[in-house]
Structure formats: structure tokens, C-alpha cells
Chains A and B, each alone.
Chain A
Amino acid sequence: MKPKVLILRVAGTNCDFETEWAFALAGAFAEKVHINQIIRREKKVSDYQILVIPGGFSYGDDIAAGKVLANQIKLKLWEEIEKFISQKKVIVGICNGFQVLAKSGILPFNSKQLITLEWNDSGRFEDRWVYLKVEENVSPFFKGLPEIIRMPVAHAEGKFLPQNNKVLNEIERNKQIVLRYCDKEGNLTGYPYNPNGSIRNIAGICSKDGLIIGMMPHPERAILKYHYPDFLKNEEKEEFTPSFKIFKNMVKYFS
């Protein structure tokens, strides 16, 4: 069965088209749905298996990145989202979507807000390709990936910051960290390899059951080998990248 993917759109969503393409290419039935359609009950979240909050600047990132949409989800969609989570369906937040999942408290423990994505240490928006170390983690979606993968980040507020060490240690202990920024060899080092100053180089995490994913890097911009900034030099054999595998894994999970 082709899983149905809901790509949530609001004012300021940007990465909906390429995310839709990535899921469709991976074999899913992907559909862009505006939040108003859900609020007006024209579309039901429960009709889908995967909910994606894509990158962008939801509501202009006014107040703080993702904050307004996080509140909207809490206040207007909570019943549906909670049911979605309890049914062990999949939620993915990329970039702005991760900011939303963090600020709504859905990640890491579906509780009150415990983590945030703070302004980059550089103090500004940056777009750059990063190396990511795939950690040993509980999520089924990062299986079969090489140890180090590459994707671009493009954000101003992406510094992973937990409320305290207790939260941080618990996320680590639960194997909820999926991706960390690293250098070419996999060492966890500083700027520009860690592009935003994230605590312990954390780039992406998941929920305790591994079905809710939040990550700052953009896998949907690194689908084909031709997306790599140096594809003309490194003659890669594989047409599709390891980041594409993340989408494939999600689709496979439901088929």
C-alpha cells in the first residue's frame, strides 16, 4: 500500500514542493494541504500515515521561528495530532518543521517545551552543506545509511539547546539523537562543521519510539547525486543519495 503523506502548508511554507517530490519519488502518495483545510474540516489528518511539517518561515517566523505554528497546532489541531501520535503514525519536521515540533513540545517527549532551536552562533542565516554522523538511534528511518552523510542546512535559528542537562542526558540515553554535525572524518568539531553551535553537535532527534523525527538539515534538497555541490568531481555511482533513503525507509515502514 502506498502510504499517504500530508505535507502541511501555512503562510510562509517554502519547501513543500521539493518535499512532495521526494516522497512521491520514494513511492508515497504525497499531498500538500493548507492548515485552513484541516481547521475547516475539509481534510482529516487521520486519513494520512505520515505528517510532514516542511521547511520555510511559517508566519514569517515572527516572535521566534516556528512559534506561531507550534501554538496553532497546540490550540487548533491538538486533538487530531495527539490521536495521530498515539496510533504510531509518523511525523517529520524539517528545518522550520523541527522548530515547530520543538516549540510545541512534541519533541523530544511530547510534553511541555524542553528544547529549543536558538539563533545560530554566527548571528545570521547561513546556507551551507554539512557532514552528518548517523548515530545509533531508535528510529527505523535511518537504518542502512552510511555512517556519514551530507545535506545542506539553511537557517538562522538552528542551534539545538536543551532546557538542562537532565533533558539532554535523557535524550542521549534513550538513543533519540539521530544526526550530529561532524567533519569529513566524523569528528564532532566546531564551526563551520557545526554550523550553528548546537549543543553536542545535535542536528536531528527523534521521539522515544523513533517515529517522530525533527532535523535542521534538508534531506529533500539532497535527493540526487547532482545535488551534491561537488558531484562533478566525485564521480558517485549511485543516482540517489543516502538522504533519499530516509524517505524510502519511511515509505517502506508502511508497506
Chain B
Amino acid sequence: MNYVREIDILNADEKELIEISEKNLLSLDIEEMKKIKEYFLSIGRNPTDCELECIAQTWSEHCYHKTFKANIQYIEKNGKKIEKFNICLLREIMEVTEKLNYPWCISVFKDNAGIIKINEKYGAAFKVETHNHPSALEPYGGAGTGIGGVIRDILGVGLGAKPILNTDIFCFGPLDFPYEKLPEGVLHPKRIFRGVVSGVRDYGNRMGIPTANGAIIFDDRYVYNCLVYCGCVGIIPVNKIEKKVNDGDLIVVIGGRTGRDGIHGATFSSASLKENIPTSVVQIGNPIVEKKFQDVLLVARDLNLYNSITDCGAGGFSSAIGEMGKDIGAVVYLEKVPLKYEGLLPWEIFLSESQERMVLAVPEKKVEKLINFFASEDVEATVIGKFVKTGKLTVYYKNKLVCDIDIHFLHKGIPKKNLRGFFERKREKPVNFKSKNIKEDILKVLSSPIISSKEEVIRQYDHEVGGRTILKPFVGYESRGVSDGVVLKPFYETYEGLIISCGINPFYGEIDPYYMAGCCIEECIRNIVSCGGNPEKIAILDNFCWGNISDERELGNLIRCVKGCKDYALKYRIPFISGKDSLNNYFKRKDGKIISIPGTLLISGIGIIEDVRKICSTDFKKEGNIIFVLGKTFNELGSSQFYRVNRIKGGIVPKPRPEKTLSLMKKIHIGIKNQLIKSCHDCSDGGLITTICEMMIGGNLGCKIDFSNVLTEEKEIEIVLFSESCGRFVVEIEKEKLNEFEKLFKNEELSQIGEVIEEKELIGFWANKKLFKIPLELIYRSWTSLNF
């Protein structure tokens, strides 16, 4: 049988080169194909199928991040003013971290995850990935392997970190989307939603990792391309962060066997979705296989049985071995790879993205011990090759050479992309929209899919396995309230803590992605600070999911967003430690129309605190306590939830004010540490009124609020209640601590707006005029009315 196919590119013209790329699902463009042809011309032969696949995978958007590394000519138009400059997106992001240069950021942008220092002995690793395309095709498997994959990132960071938390953020089409409008080949949002939730639940729960932070967003434009973000946090000894492959180390694969699942996952993940995509691109997961090797791996790490490790994710062995051997070279014998079943072609073995596999570099003298050690808990470990100083990636299958390419060409040969992006700033104008019935609008916002309780989903995740979860997703009375973030106690012996939260709001990007970036960064930090976090000890991760970036305007939006990330991260003095992008999330309809997702930025944050006993939750604690708003309210209702439920377009998008807010947050941190602040909840989606209602639900208490006291220049009830201005928190203070509180917050923007009452109702005043009275029961019912 002929296992290896030679592909004639030496005699191919441009048209044929593109045909080759398309026919083999390589997702390579003409410049890249020409570069490959040039290389093979120089060595005087045609590539094998395996070589071409290997290059396509290494050069894929998913693995190489071509767009983020590209040289982009960017034009920004603001009225008559035109700015023009060249930009590299990855540089922009990395510059933040370089400029801030914090000593506690100990491994950034180089390994599978970013690592920050918790104490002298341990670091925390955090990574967030997306698994969008697979989840759109096969929600259960796609989401499950998404979480499985990001857990492996954590297991493969440094010499291996112990996963202690998963996070999940989803964007779906509306659950009540009309079936008749659904294009052929697209699954209904409800089907995707249920599949994704079950997939994450079954994988995360079986891995014994709590899933305790996340968000769910709904919008029409996610019908065709859902977004599934999966994150994982791990702890790692600081002396296990460095890894190095040595010449002569054996290549050992551990965990699951290799099958035909997930082939072309890397190249497919950055292509647009259309009909007739082969199902073999989706991987098949089995959490128990991953759990088994996780248990042994971390012990093997501490026994120093291997020199380096990486996960086998997108691109399979080709990516893992190619990456590990990129400074040396490697020889692989594919016939040694344990297979799920016979019949795989060599390139399929090399490229397969079968799950639950890791690749280790093991010194020859330790290999027997390592294999036996894994075997003792029924984990397969197999030598499949060797890292050798050849400068080549050489692959054999049954003595036949199937791949022999220059490592330098593989990793450095990709032509730099030259792209163009264009952004035109919209003139933001306030909309004059009056509520017809304030009470009804409040309930409408509370029951909107984005604001309303996700309890039914979150309960299905084990959020406290491990016994480390201190502030849980649910807080307060009967655990009804919602938390701003999760607080973990990573070590059983100490009270040190980690706070994890996120910020996401794709709607602001419709007006200006620059401010969306600022708002997302700030929301994430605000959430962490509300829980008791220190604003000077927070690191963040960026995940960009974008639409059709071959469109200059879409790319322009992305650039504008990256600029926002850089500027605001620097202003808040918060470093990026890791990031990822998933581009081309668009759907080509039969009529040729392209439907892109709204450009979506997820900011995930991790904060370090000294003492988990000194934290804060969002639920009102006691009647008689005084309620304050910290921060100032502006007319910033553009893309707000209030406008969304009333179908109003336009308006002014919230603009963060880093200087003011940073100073405020430092004081909130002190106020919580000194237990001066009894409850704290940030204002974000749904505005001040949503924040107050959520605090009531958690506390099972009512409150009396005079909204005319809210600090603002806009004396309109709609703005005061629903504006989503940044930099605001609602806090609860005991009467006897008022002086101390006011002293701490001297010179800050604060307004005393009301008090917590025993009667279970929200009574709203404007000066002396009573505006509304809403029973807590009705608030709770509206907030929990979303039917999953």
C-alpha cells in the first residue's frame, strides 16, 4: 500500500496552487503557497501530503496568529481628521506588559498560559481558549473538548500546573429564535446552548475541577457562529516553570490513543463556517482518560522524570513536536504511535487532534521509570521518537520517509502578511428616549436574557470540588444572590487567595470597539475589586473573537479594539499575561451574504489577595445600613440593556475614566480589608437599578432609595437608573461606621442614596416624590424568568 502521496506543486501555477490549498482544506493563501513552492524548488522535490499538512497546520491562523503578527496599514477617520500608521497587534498587547514590567508576572506570552506569582513558592497559571467552530457543529463534543483542551494547556504550562478552576463564557443566538428563519445546516440556539452546557458540565465535573465563573450573552448574530470560551486556572511551583528539551531526549506520548478525529481542526478553526463540513474535524473527548494522566503527571513532575512537556492540541503531534523541537530537530516513527483503530494514513496520525494526549521530552535514562510509573495507574506512555540536533523535522512510517523539512523554514518561513484596516469613528449623539412606565422597564431589564439569573446553568457545574471555593457563584440568602467573581483559597494550609472574574460586552463595540475594550477591562477589574481584590495585583487575559477580517472595516474594528486594550490596560496599570484570537467567525449564506459575529472581546482577570477571610459579597447584609453609590453617572445609555430591551439604537457608549476609578478602587480595597464595607456590587449591564435589585435578592432585604441623590449632572430618571457608566459601585455601610467611611472616601465621588430596610420591597423616590414600589418577590420572579 502506498502510504505517502506526493503532491505536485513544483509544476503548479497560481490557480493550481490555490486549488491544492482548497482541495486539501489547508487554508493557505497564494503568498503562502508560493513560499512553499519556492522552498521545495530549492530542495529539488515535491512535498509529501504529510509535509504540506504539517506546514499548513504550523502556519494556520489558529497556531501562528498571522493576523496578530501581520504588518497592518491602519487608517482611522474621525470626522475630517485622518490618522494613518502601521501597526502590529501582538506588539501592541505585549508592550503593555513590557512597559509595566511587574516582577510578579513571571511567565508571559511564551508558554501555554501566563503565570503570576502568588508567593515565594507558587505561581498561578491562567489560560482562556475558544472552541467556537466545533461547538457550532457538535455542541456537546465541541464544548467538552474545549474545556478538555484548556485544562491540558494548564497541565502543559511549565512542567505542569495543577488545575483548580474552570471558567466558561458563552455567546449564543436567542433561545427563542424562530425555527423557520434558521438556515439549513445551522443548529438552533437552544440545541447549541443545551449541548454546550452539558459538554462543559460533563467534562469539567468529571475532571474534578470546579467551574465557578462565567457569563452568557445572547444576540441574533451569534445564531450562525456561537462563541464558547473556556478558561482554566492552575497552581504551579515556581521552580517548575522552566522547561527545556535536550538533544537526545526521547519523545514520549502519554494518555489517549490516536484516531481519525479532529483532523484539520487547526486549519478549519479559522475558516468560515459553511455547509458540508466533514464531521471528522470535531474531536471526541473522554475526561476520565485526561483525569487519569493528570493524577500521575503531577507526581512524575515532582520526581523530575521529564525535561519538557506540551499538550497535543490543535495540529496534533505536528504542532506539539514541531513546537518542542523547534530549536533542535526531531525524528518521529509514526508506526509506534498507539492507535484507536487501524487504517490511518501517516499524515493523519501526525495531524490527528485526538484528545487527551500530551507529549513529553524524557531523558533516555529515565524513560523506563517514567513508562512504568504511568503504567502503574493504567496510563499508556509510548516512545515515538527522539529530539536530535538535525535542524529538521523528520518523520518515518514503517521505514518510509514521510516528512523531512527544515525546522527553520517551518517556523520562520511563513511570509509576513501585509493587511489594511480602516475605521471610521461614529459621531455619538444622545438619544432622547423616555420610559413610559419605569417600573415595567425595570422588570423588563431584569428579565432580559443577558441580565437574568443563570442559576439553572451554573448549578449544573460543580463549583466547589476541591474545597477551595470560598466566594461562590451564588451568595447570600438561600444562595440566591449573584457574585461578581469567585474567590479561591488555593492552598489548604494558608488563607492566601485568588479572585477570578471577567468582563465582556460586545454591544458597546457597535458604537466604538475602543471604548468596548476599556469597558471590558474595567468591568473585569471592578468585579475583582468588588470581591475584595487589590487593583494593583491583577493580571488579565485577552480573547478576541472576530468576524470576517478580510473585510478592511472588520479588521479596522479589531485594530481599534486592540488599541483600546493597550491604552486602557496601561492606564489601569494592569498587565496582559496571555491571550488568544479566533478570527473569521462568520457564516456564508447560500445567497452569498456574509454574516459576521459582533466583534467580541473577553477580558478574564486574576487577582491575588493575602487573606480570603477579608472579602466582600454582593448581598445586602442588614436593615438599617446605609447605601452609597461610588462614582459618577453620565448620560451613557448607548448599547445599554435598557436600550436593547426597548430596541433603541445609538446613544453614547460608556467611557472609562481610569484615573478617577483607579483611585476609588484602591480605597474600596482598603474598605473591604478593614471590613468597613458590608456589601459591594459593581454597576455594569442594566445600570444602577440592576445592581441594587441583585443586592436585594441576595440579601432577601428591601431598600429605600432616593435617586435624586445619585451624583450626576443628568437629572433624568432613565439615565440615573439605567446608564451603564463605568467606575461605579454600590456599597453598604453600617451607620456607626459612617464617619470612618466618609473619611476614607474623602475627595472621591460618592453619594448617599438610601438605606436597607426589613420590608421586602424596593421603594424608589425622586426627592420627596415616590416613584415606585416593587415587591422583592416580583423582582426575584422577573430576574429568574428566563426559560432555558
Task: Give the B-binding residues of A (Cβ under 8 A).
Answer: 9, 11-15, 17-18, 21-22, 34, 36-37, 40, 55-57, 59-61, 124-129, 152, 154, 218, 220-221, 223, 226-227, 229-230, 232-233
Contacts and interface: CB of A to CB of B under 8 A. Distances in A.
Q: Sort A-B residue pairs by CB-CB distance and give the 3 closest, nearest first.
A: A14-B208, A18-B467, A60-B288
A127 B204 CA distance: 13
Contacts of B461: 125, 127
A235 B184 CA distance: 57
Contacts of A220: 467
Nearest to B489: A226
A221 B619 contact: no
B196 to A, nearest CB: 14
Contacts of A55: 465
Interface of B: 201, 205-208, 286-288, 291-292, 295, 376-378, 459-468, 470, 472, 474-477, 479, 489, 492, 612-613, 615-617, 619, 621, 699
Nearest to B205: A125
Given A11-B291, A232-B616, A127 B464 contact: yes
Contacts of B479: 128-129, 229-230
A129 B699 CA distance: 17
Nearest to A37: B376
A129 B472 CA distance: 11
Contacts of A129: 479
Contacts of A223: 467
B462 A125 contact: yes
Given A18-B466, A124-B460, A125-B461, 20 more contacts: A11-B378, A12-B291, A14-B206, A14-B207, A14-B465, A15-B466, A17-B466, A17-B467, A18-B467, A18-B468, A21-B492, A34-B377, A57-B205, A59-B288, A60-B288, A154-B462, A227-B467, A230-B619, A232-B475, A233-B476
A226 B612 contact: yes
Contacts of A232: 475, 615-617, 619, 621
B292 A154 contact: no
B741 to A, nearest CB: 17
Nearest to B612: A226
19 contacts: A14-B291, A18-B466, A18-B467, A21-B492, A22-B467, A57-B206, A57-B208, A57-B287, A57-B288, A59-B288, A60-B288, A127-B460, A127-B464, A129-B479, A152-B464, A154-B464, A218-B464, A229-B479, A230-B477
Helix, strand, loop or mixed for chain A's interface?
Answer: mixed
A125 B492 CA distance: 26
Given A126-B459, A127-B462, A230 B475 contact: yes
A15 B465 CA distance: 7
Given A57-B206, A128-B479, A11 B288 contact: yes
Contacts of A221: 464-465, 467
Nearest to B613: A226
A197 to B, nearest CB: 15
Contacts of B460: 124-127
A60 B206 contact: yes
Contacts of A125: 201, 205, 460-462
A51 to B, nearest CB: 19
A11 B474 CA distance: 30
Contacts of B613: 226
A22 to B, nearest CB: 8
A226 B472 CA distance: 11
Contact of A56 (B208, B470, B474, B699): B208
A230 B699 CA distance: 10
Contacts of B292: 11-12
A221 B207 CA distance: 17
A31 to B, nearest CB: 14
A145 B698 CA distance: 28
A2 B201 CA distance: 39
